[in-house]
A and B are shown apart, each in its own frame.
Chain A
């Protein structure tokens, strides 16, 4: 199985993912990795209801998602092209810490919450997010902020993180 996109997006499955990235990348699987949603079958069904019929949705907690990604042939048989979604940098970092090999992560939706500062237009972070971005960078993960294919891509690097941290 080819992981065609690993994305951080606090809306999880929505138009930018299913239509924007989906039409470009033609996934047959969306793996949503989130402990809260995985623990609530109703929430999982709501998210799964919004995808095109050719796409399967698998909602798993972080540990189970990592295990599946380490051995997709056994855990996710029959799928060729997968999109991985987490709701935060912390969750993406957790997957990497659980042994998932990622060389690049797309940073999509991180919306405003109290205590967060705008890092790039429409993208809000706090110190915890910055720390997780830094750890991902140190692990060799390329971080690119890009809402949709064809949109502006901005690479996240230590300089950008330091500049944001100075404003926090």
Chain B
């Protein structure tokens, strides 16, 4: 069910987001999202800093467990080849059918918050990736 269809049926679906990164990248990105869009519910930042692989995976597991099944979620990580990627998978993202998107940038998070109540999750994922890639460019160059 798309979020729009859910609304018509009198239910509210809001896909949750976890931004799991090295250092404070995720926390700062979420802060900036809120500076731009105002307070945002359902978007949490976590770090691998100070945590072993197992401890970071436990953070992911805890976040997955609190997701409402109807809402679902997305995990954003900063690097596809690092401990955040491993921890997301070891923490259960695949078995929970929660996509893990790497290369998180500000545009991706703005797209997530903007479209998560409008698009079904598969479409949302593609929109986020498309928007995020568009944002990686030479400023001023013709597209």
A99 near B: Cβ within 8 Å? no
A133 near B: Cβ within 8 Å? no
B97 near A: Cβ within 8 Å? no
> CA separation between A12 and B51, bound complex, in Å?
12
Cβ of B50 and Cβ of A13 under 8 Å apart?
Answer: no
Q: How far is the CB of A118 from chain B (nearest CB, A)?
A: 11
Cβ of A111 and Cβ of B86 under 8 Å apart?
Answer: no
> CA separation between A49 and B52, bound complex, in Å?
18
Which chain B residues border A19 with CB–CB below 8 Å? Answer: 81
The CB with the most chain B CB atoms within 10 A, among A47, A111, A112, is that of A111
Interface residues on A, range: 20 to 34
Interface residues of B in 90-108 (CB under 8 A from A): 90
Cβ of A15 and Cβ of B52 under 8 Å apart?
Answer: no
Given A14-B86, A15-B22, A43-B90: A50 in contact with B54 (beta carbons within 8 A): no
Q: Interface digits, B54-79 against A, CB 8 Å rule (1 contact, 0 not)?
A: 11100000000000000000000001
Cβ of B53 and Cβ of A10 under 8 Å apart?
Answer: yes
Q: Interface digits, A8-32 against B, CB 8 Å rule (1 contact, 0 not)?
A: 0011111100110000000000000
Cβ of B83 and Cβ of A15 under 8 Å apart?
Answer: yes
Cβ of B89 and Cβ of A46 under 8 Å apart?
Answer: yes
Which chain A residues border B50 with CB–CB below 8 Å? Answer: 111-112, 122
Cβ of A18 and Cβ of B53 under 8 Å apart?
Answer: no
A51 near B: Cβ within 8 Å? yes
Cβ of B53 and Cβ of A12 under 8 Å apart?
Answer: yes
> CA separation between A113 and B90, bound complex, in Å?
19
Which 4 residue pairs across A and B have the least CB separation, nearest first? A14-B83, A10-B52, A15-B82, A111-B52
B55's contact among A14, A15, A49, A111, by CB below 8 Å, is which? A111
